[in-house]
Structure 1
Amino acid sequence: MQKRNAHRGLLAAAIAAGLAFGVTPSLAATVLKFSHTDNPGGSRQAAAELFAEKVAEYTDGRYEVRIYPASQLANDPKAVEQLQLGGVDFTVTAPGTYATHLPSLNLMALPFLVDTFEQGWELYDNSAWVKGEFDKLPEKGIHILATWEAGFRSFTTTMPLNSPEDAVGEKIRVYPNDMIRWTMEAIGFQTVVMPIPDVYLGIQQGTVSGQENPVDTIKSLRFYEVAPYITLTRHVYSPLPLAVAESTWETFSDEDKAAFTKAAQEAAAFSRELVRGSVDKQLAEMEEAGATVTVPDVGPFREAVETVYEQARGVYGDDVDKILADAKAIRDKMPAE
């Protein structure tokens, strides 16, 4: 007991000395790696920073989330693989990236599922089908904490894209996702699979005529500089599920699990409001920089992609109608203004 009291006395004296010299003492925090592909100025980075701050707050500084943006550690597919292997602890990416390990998640990129942000939030938070699919991911080494926001996918191309006819003969970059590829091909494009860090140069060199992504991604990765025609088709709603490695999740106490979940959900609410509230400003900034922004008649695009639903049924069976039914119920309950 005397030795323990002596040790406590020495520790208290060291802390007091540190404070006297302006040094803030801290116990060594467990460092967790967070990999994503967004640039430091993008919404994913802003939400990741808030998440890291809240984790530190809710765990009394016992955990430090260290963020690696702009593909410093891995592109999106590799980040998910590293998540499964324990090389990274967190990543945030589109559902289609996780679909490599659970193919049914490709269906979340079916075209024109929802028309508004609010409908999309309802789908990802409360759809029985979506929840059921996310519940299958822990056995793949992936645990979904919350769904962050990217927005609706639209085009940036090197030429005007007023209708599907303008896509014929042109090459478009896609990531490895059946729905996106089928949708692009139904519109008329030839598809080229390409990691997102290579897209800017691929457009610049003429390998592809453009790409499709949410406005926030178009802005943060500066695709409008090399593909200045921005066409707001909003053909796919593209949120960003935030995942923690299941191996990491299993090390947390119940109290810590609650803390990480709370931090993730608060960052999700921030992400959603940030992205929705930034679209008009980002488009105006890109126009000022020389981009041309158009809102086409989406009717011909909707008609062009009708074949995708039947194509999906041939591969994914009843799951197609389950997610379509959930989406329709939400659209009926929350109609666009």
Structure 2
Amino acid sequence: MLEKKFLSRLMAGVAVAAVGLSSAHAAEKLRFSHTDNPGGSRQAAAELFAEKVAEYTDGRYEVQIYPSGQLANDPKAIELLQLGGIDFTVSATGSYATHLPSLNLTAMPFLVDTYEQGWELYDNSEWLQGEFQKLPEKGFRVLSTWEAGFRSFTTNEPLTSPKDAESMKMRVFPNDMIRWSMEAIGFQTVVMPITDVYLAIQQGIVNGQENPVDTIRSLRFYEVAPNITLTRHVYSPLPLTVAEKTWQSFSEEDQAAVLKAATESATFSRQLVQSSVDSQLTEMQEAGAVVSVPEIGPFREAVQSVYAKAKDVYGAEAVDNILGDAAAIREALPAQN
């Protein structure tokens, strides 16, 4: 009888120890928030990133993805990064400018003309890399840059020239450069989170919004603003960021693993978005959208005042640095006609 009790206690002890070992090896969960829909390119890249983080850390970390702004809109997600409330987010560069205003300069109009030029700017611009290196002291850091593409317009009335803009209200996100450009073109601007835009257009609060084709399709803005006008006025990629608290909690080995996953997911994101634009436009046209390419000259002329305004606010040196980097890249990687 005593032997049976001893054996049962021994087995119970083994079971507890096994549970302890199991929990010790359970993956630590990391939270990734973004505002794209589950069918969008950001979600696809996030899934690849999560898969690679698990693979390269030997299962020590599990990235849990929260799409569609479930946890926060873009500005709030960046605040949560600073507080350690989430671990990763991906958002337009201008969204981070609230915390480092000089990043607004990346949203100056018509900086680059092609994806390849944009990739070179974000990966190798000496000025931009220097600005990114200031972000850890703000509470987050850039791991890599995902793709969204070039920003264009969706409106509920045709937009053929800046003259048409004068009667329209345009939604903008909280970014001075975008707002200045929209106002220079002729729009009245209304600042609101992207998660509110569809309903705002539907209700007539604004006449439209501007975003890359991938975002227009993912968030279905063409349903309520069916005039898609391909101005490609701003190159708008998506820095993938990690909370600095989270980054510092990683071992050097895990930092290298997460960085590798971020780099590979960026390559995937860039290829996916670049290769999908034509089919996405066709899909939206088949759903009733009207796609047009306007004469770009009048739009370029309308925004000339933005460069001077940027120098007044951010200093001529910073503006000249990024304009110089962009000009050198355009010369080295000319657009193919």
Q: TM-score by structure 2 length?
A: 0.93
Runs of 4+ in 1 over 2 A off after TM superposition: 24-27
Supply the distance in 2 between the matched residues of 1:160 and 1:143 (Cα, whole angstroms): 40
Q: Match of 1:130?
A: 128
Is 1:52 aligned with 2:21? no
Supply the distance in 2 between the matched residues of 1:157 and 1:170 (Cα, whole angstroms): 9
Supply the distance in 2 between the matched residues of 1:14 and 1:30 (Cα, whole angstroms): 18
Q: Match of 2:333?
A: 334
Supply the distance in 2 between the matched residues of 1:129 and 1:68 (Cα, whole angstroms): 32
Is 1:148 aligned with 2:134? no
Supply the distance in 2 between the matched residues of 1:237 and 1:261 (Cα, whole angstroms): 24
Q: Match of 2:32?
A: 34
Which secondary structure does the structure 1 equivalent of 2:200 belong to?
helix
Supply the distance in 1 between the matched residues of 2:55 and 2:245 (Cα, whole angstroms): 23
Q: Structure 2 matches for 1:80-99, cutoff 5 A?
A: 80-99=78-97
Is 1:308 aligned with 2:306? yes
Q: Structure 2 matches for 1:204-243, cutoff 5 A?
A: 204-243=202-241
Which secondary structure does the structure 1 equivalent of 2:267 belong to?
helix
Q: Match of 2:5?
A: none
Give the letter aligned to residue 289 of structure 1.
A
| Cα deviation, residue 152, structure 1 | 0.2
Supply the distance in 1 between the matched residues of 2:172 and 2:128 (Cα, whole angstroms): 23
Supply the distance in 2 between the matched residues of 1:26 and 1:14 (Cα, whole angstroms): 10
Which of residues 278, 292, 295 in structure 2 aligns to 1:294? 292
Q: Match of 2:4?
A: none
Supply the distance in 1 between the matched residues of 2:260 and 2:237 (Cα, whole angstroms): 19
Is 1:173 aligned with 2:167? no
| Cα deviation, residue 169, structure 1 | 2.2
CA-to-partner distance for each residue in 1:9-53, whole Å, 9 max, x for gaps?
958x979xxxxxxxx999311100000000000000000000000
Distance change (3 Å), C-alpha of 1:26 and 1:43 = farther
Supply the distance in 2 between the matched residues of 1:321 and 1:41 (Cα, whole angstroms): 39
Supply the distance in 1 between the matched residues of 2:301 and 2:126 (Cα, whole angstroms): 28
CA RMSD of aligned residues (A): 1.7
Which secondary structure does the structure 1 equivalent of 2:159 belong to?
coil
Distance change (3 Å), C-alpha of 1:99 and 1:25 = closer
Which secondary structure does the structure 2 equivalent of 1:113 belong to?
coil
Supply the distance in 2 between the matched residues of 1:332 and 1:179 (Cα, whole angstroms): 24
Which of residues 58, 61, 64 in structure 1 aligns to 2:59? 61
CA-to-partner distance for each residue in 1:225-259, whole Å, 9 max, x for gaps?
00000000000000000000001100111111100
| Cα deviation, residue 295, structure 1 | 0.7
CA-to-partner distance for each residue in 1:157-180, whole Å, 9 max, x for gaps?
001111101101210000010110
Identity of aligned residues (%): 74
Q: Match of 1:3?
A: none
Supply the distance in 1 between the matched residues of 2:291 and 2:298 (Cα, whole angstroms): 18
Structure 2: state its 5+ residue gaps.
Answer: 1-9
CA-to-partner distance for each residue in 1:149-208, whole Å, 9 max, x for gaps?
000000000011111011012100000101100000010000000100100000000000
Give the letter aligned to residue 254 of structure 1.
E
Which secondary structure does the structure 1 equivalent of 2:184 belong to?
helix
